[in-house]
Amino acid sequence: MNYFPDEVIEHVFDYVVSHSDRNSLSLVCKSWYRIERFTRQRVFIGNCYSISPERLVERFPDLKSLTLKGKPHFADFSLVPHGWGGFVYPWIEALAKNKVGLEELRLKRMVVSDESLELLSRSFMNFKSLVLVSCEGFTTDGLAAVAANCRSLRELDLQENEVEDHKGQWLSCFPENCTSLVSLNFACLKGEINIGALERLVARSPNLKSLRLNRSVPVDALQRILMRAPQLMDLGIGSFFHDLNSDAYAKLKTTILKCTSITSLSGFLEIMDCIGDKGLGVVASTCKDLQELRVFPSAPFGNQGAVTEKGLVAISMGCRKLHSLLYFCHQMTNAALITVAKNCPNFIRFRLCILDATKPDPDTMQPLDEGFGAIVQSCKRLRRLSLSGQLTDQVFLYIGMYAEQLEMLSIAFAGESDKGMLYVLNGCKKLRKLEIRDCPFGDTALLTNIGKYETMRSLWMSSCEVTVGACKTLAKKMPSLNVEIFGEGEQADCYVEDGQRVEKMYLYRTVAGKREDAPEYVWTL
Amino acid sequence: MGSYIETELIINHKDTELRLGLPGSEDNQQSCNGSIVRSNKRSFSSETTSVEHESICKSNNVSSDTSNSSTTNNDHDHDQDTIQPKKVQVVGWPPIRSFRKNSLQQKKVEDGCGMYVKVSMAGAPYLRKIDLKVYKSYSELLIALENLFKCTFGEYSEREGYNGSECAPTYEDKDGDWMLVGDVPWNMFISSCKRLKIVKGSEAKGLACL
């Protein structure tokens, strides 16, 4: 292949799209590395601290799309103290300074300030798509800047962000000649929006395919909006319906049915409260094509609608195409999990959360090792797994043995000894993210297979048995890792003794060295 | 992209709290062995429980809720006969994004799901169900119950319960105890009432004499 001129190789590379394939291309030889970096358009950085913004821009000057993830996953559950990090500003600054033609920015669990949004909106003339998931730090003023300045904006997708509402008119900031919108999602905004501005915006966006509104949009407005957007394919509403018999709801139903192009709806199904095992049985018998399912617990209201293993078994029998599951329930049995494993061998993501975190199988009073063992043995394509319930080291033996495609594992209140964690580290060849809380894993578990961490993105351990001394040892032996330890808002220098237990440890591989923006309570060893 | 349905179902559950309880504690839903961290150390003394409870409290910024019927302190654990399941809230459990938790809680306030509880009366051929959320006060509830079961409750007084009546309304609370309706503030009653039972005759008098 080296006898072909560069242009030919470039042309071939155009067809190679996936991140991992492009990464592989760049490793073949020096000239491929060179050609690849100048033609690379999309870059995914799973941990924003694994590389510096300057290095990114230097290597990929022709970058068009950047995806960045910041805080560790357990930040979602308030386990990461405020101010830990994940700031996007340095990235936008570096891209702007080097005149990168950025068109798409996708961020997850990052801190996004209004300044960053403003800088973003003014720096990239062809900017088309902004996707923010679980981010925080910005207000509707930042959104106004994006609306006003990004002339070619196609996508503004805000998912589950903490946005401060400044009661401005950000929606009105979309200029009259902005007609390029394809996707607009502001479901997570808590404040009121200008309904008239929204209607006008929808009316002048003939390419609008996906629209997800927040709770402030009343039913009649929703109806009017739908009339103006018959080409809509994906619709989300924020309002919850109290009265399914109301005229408003009936009118809305007819309007939606008239939009024959709509293939996906969200927000409506949250009215199916109190569904219980029986309700799941109904879902199982009617939704044969169901691929992803998430069952959340709601606030307590008597004994109604408790979901147990029975609902899950029903789902597994009826929804054979199910590949992603997040299931909160009161209890689970080994028998049920074994049945589910047999019925649905195609699981890619299986996340089970038993609300009583250490509850055994209520029928046999045994731990759930065998049940989860069946899942990993049967679901050969499993990439993500979250465990709960009473679990011994045995479940980790099974995971290490059978979960060959596993990339992400979440463990809480499980295991008996260091052996458990080692089974996983030694066994799961494709493991990238391991997050552990409240488990009896200590220094031996941490230090026995340290080479493994270089093959992973990150490891989180909180409320385990790991000591300061062990973390220091690890950091010393592995300079390619950042080992951060922190407690709950305490100063970093409270960790004086090597024998002291570490409250929270987060380690990740990096080529950027120790980060400069860590708060005082984070100690990078 | 073909047809794609992403389903999110909200279900009810009893509570989102982890409970610490020694094995054999009467609450059959929480069979946790009294240790959040060391789930498999089945053989432990009550002393271990209180030590572990303390370390859990320290390491997880846990706040203990005292159960409403008795004082709950670590010393209680030493008494095997009076097992009090402790309600302990653990940070970050269950693992739900705070964003979603907030919207679910908002939903709890707003939605019209209703709070249906069973009402039984000895001698009645079948039970009834009523929506507690429909009523704003005890008097409304009692009138409704009187109509439903064609009985009368008489005048409520703190000292003598439902004096001079043939029936008295009782309810089962979260701890599984049968209580006289009317003793606690209405909102507390609403949040702890699992089911209602109308007791008659001597049973009623018996309760009133307590």
A461, A470 contact by CB (below 8 A): no
Strands (E), A48-89: 65-69
Contact B90 A357 (CB under 8 A): yes
Alpha-carbon span A34 to B79, nearest angstrom: 73
Which of A351, A356, A504 should we substitute to test contact with B (largest number of B Cβ atoms within 10 Å)?
Answer: A356
Q: Please tell me if residue A364 touches chain B, with a CB cutoff of 8 Å.
A: no
Closest listed residue to residue B132, CA positions, set B162, B171, B158: B171
Residues of A in contact with B107 (CB under 8 A): 240, 270, 273, 298-299
Kindly give, in sequence order, each residue whose CB lies less than 8 Å from that of residue A378, ignoring residues fewer than 6 positions away: A341, A342, A345
Q: Do A280 and B2 touch (CB under 8 A)?
A: no
Inform me whether the pLDDT recorded for B86 exceeds 50: no
B40 contacts chain A (CB < 8 A): yes
Instruction: Identify whether the C-beta of residue A49 lies closer than 8 Å to the C-beta of residue A508.
Output: yes
DSSP string covering B136-189, please?
SSHHHHHHHHHHHHT----EEETTTEEET-SEEEEEE-TTS-EEETTSS-HHHH
Which residues of chain B have a CB within 8 Å of the CB of A271?
111
Q: What sign does the dihedral A276-B189-B28-A385 (CA atoms) show?
A: positive
The yes/no answer to whether this complex scores an ipTM above 0.95 is: no
Buried b (16+ CB within 10 A) or exposed e, A266-277: bbbebbbbbbbb
Chain A residues in contact with B29 by the CB 8 A cut-off are 330, 356
- Which one of A301, A307, A349, A462 makes the best mutation probe of the B interface by having the most chain B beta carbons within 10 Å? A301
Closest Cβ opposite residue B91 in set A79, A270, A440 = A79
Contacts of B12 in chain A (CB under 8 A): 273-274, 276, 297-306
- The C-alpha atoms of residue A117 and residue A142 are separated, in whole angstroms, by 5
Q: How confident is the model at residue A286 (pLDDT cuts 50, 70, 90)?
A: confident
3 state DSSP class of A420: helix
Q: Name the pLDDT band for A283 (thresholds 50, 70, 90).
A: confident
Contacts of B33 in chain A (CB under 8 A): 358
Structure tokens at B7: 């389903």
pLDDT digits (tens, 9 = 90+) for B98-115: 777 766 655 544 444 568
Q: What is the widest separation between alpha-carbon atoms in chain B? A: 71
Report yes or no: A303 and B117 within 8 Å, Cβ to Cβ.
Answer: no
Q: Which of A413, A461, A467, A500 to mutate to test the interface with B (most CBs of B within 10 A)?
A: A413
Flag whether residue A162 sits within 8 Å of chain B, measured between CB atoms: yes
Q: Tell me if residue A506 falls in helix, strand or coil.
A: strand
Cβ–Cβ below 8 Å for B31 and A240: no
* B9 close to A (CB below 8 A): yes
Residues linked to residue B199 through DSSP beta bridges, in sequence order = B168
CB contact under 8 A, A270 and B99: no
The H-or-E segment that residue B46 falls in is helix B46-60
Three-state DSSP string of A267-288:
CCHHHCCCCHHHHHHHHHHHCC
pLDDT attached to residue A125: 95
Q: Is the pLDDT of residue B11 over 70?
A: no
Mean pLDDT of chain A: 89
Among A208, A210, A141, A201, which residue's Cα sits nearest to residue A175? A201
**CA neighbor of B30 nearest in space, from B69, B83, B75, B73:** B83
pLDDT at A14 over 70: yes
Tens digits of residue pLDDT in A224-234: 888 888 888 88
pLDDT of residue A238: 63
pLDDT tier, A214 (very low <50, low <70, confident <90, very high otherwise): confident
Taking 3-state DSSP, the helix, strand and coil percentages for chain B, each rounded to the nearest 5, stand at 30, 25, 45
pLDDT of residue A65: 97
Long-range CB contacts for residues B69-77, cutoff 8 Å, separation at least 24:
B69/B175, B69/B177, B74/B50, B75/B50, B77/B22, B77/B46, B77/B47, B77/B49, B77/B50, B77/B53
Q: Is B1 on the interface with A (CB under 8 A)?
A: yes
Q: Does A165 touch chain B (CB under 8 A)?
A: no
Residue of A nearest to B96 (CA): A77
Chain A residues within 8 A of B2 when measuring between CB atoms: 263
**More confident call, B62 vs A429:** A429
Q: Which fold has domain A280-441?
A: 3.80.10
What is the arrangement of strands in the sheet containing A234-236, beginning at the earlier edge strand? A42-45, A65-69, A104-108, A129-133, A155-159, A183-185, A210-212, A234-236, A264-266
- Residue B124, pLDDT above cutoff 90: no
Does the distance separating the beta carbons of A76 and B95 come in below 8 Å?
yes
Asked if A463 and B112 come within 8 Å (Cβ–Cβ), the reply is no
Distance set, CA A26 to CA A35, A304, A358, A510, B179 (Å):
8, 57, 46, 19, 73
Predicted confidence (pLDDT) at residue A87 exceeds the cutoff of 90: yes
Closest CA to A40 of A70, A71, A19: A19
Distance from CA of B27 to the nearest CA of A (A): 13
Q: Report which secondary-structure segment, H or E, holds B200.
A: strand B195-200
A114-132: average pLDDT: 97
pTM of the model: 0.74
Burial letters A41-76, b for 16+ CB under 10 A, else e: ebbebebbbbebbeebbebbeebbbbbbbbbbbbbb
The string of pLDDT tens digits covering residues B126-170 is: 888 888 888 888 888 988 898 888 888 888 888 777 877 778 899
pLDDT at position B85 is 44
Give the dihedral sign, CA A112/A116/A118/A122.
negative
pLDDT at A473: 95
Question: What would the pLDDT profile of A358-385 be if each residue is shown by its tens digit?
Answer: 999 999 999 999 999 999 999 999 999 9
pLDDT score for B190 = 87
Q: CB-based contacts of B189: which residues, under 8 Å, 6+ apart?
A: B138, B171, B181
Q: What are the residue ranges spanned by the domains of chain A? A: 280-441
Residue A488 amino acid letter: E
Contact yes or no for B59 and A305 at CB 8 A:
no
* Closest Cα in chain B to A366: B40
pLDDT at A298: 62
A61 touches chain B (CB under 8 A): no
The pLDDT, as a whole number, for residue B82 is 40
Core vs surface per residue A349-368: b (16+ CB within 10 A) or e:
bbbbbbbbbbbbbbeeeebb
pLDDT at B16 over 90: no
Interface test with B, best of A77, A215, A461 (most B CBs within 10 A): A77
Residue B118 contacts A, CB cutoff 8 Å: no
What value does the mean pLDDT take over residues A183-207?
Answer: 92
Query: What pLDDT score was predicted for residue B191?
Result: 84
- Across the interface, whether the CB atoms of B39 and A160 are under 8 A apart is answered no
Is there a contact between B112 and A390 if contact means CB atoms under 8 Å apart? no
Least CB-CB distance to A438: which of B15, B36, B110?
Answer: B36
- Interval A462-471: pLDDT, tens: 999 999 999 9
CA atoms within a 13 Å half-sphere pointing along the CA-CB vector of B192: 23
Confidence of residue B88 (pLDDT cuts 50, 70, 90): low
- Of residues B185 and A62, more confidence is placed in A62
State both tokens at B183. Answer: 């003793």
Q: Give me the residues of A, 267-296, that contact B with CB < 8 A.
A: 269-276, 279-280, 283, 287, 289-296
Contact residues, chain A, for B91 at CB < 8 Å: 77-79
Report CB contact under 8 Å: B9, A279: yes
Q: Note whether A328 contacts B108, CB cutoff 8 Å.
A: no
User: Which pLDDT tens digit goes with each residue over A296-336?
Assistant: 876 433 344 568 899 899 999 998 889 999 998 888 999 99
DSSP A111: B
Beta-bridged to residue B179, according to DSSP, are B171
Architecture of domain B116-203: Roll (3.10)
Q: Which residues in chain A have their CB less than 8 angstroms from residue B60's CB?
A: 438, 463
Report residue A113 CA to chain centroid gap. Answer: 20
Looking at residue A329, the DSSP 8-state letter turns out to be E
CB-side neighbour CA atoms (13 Å) of A168: 18
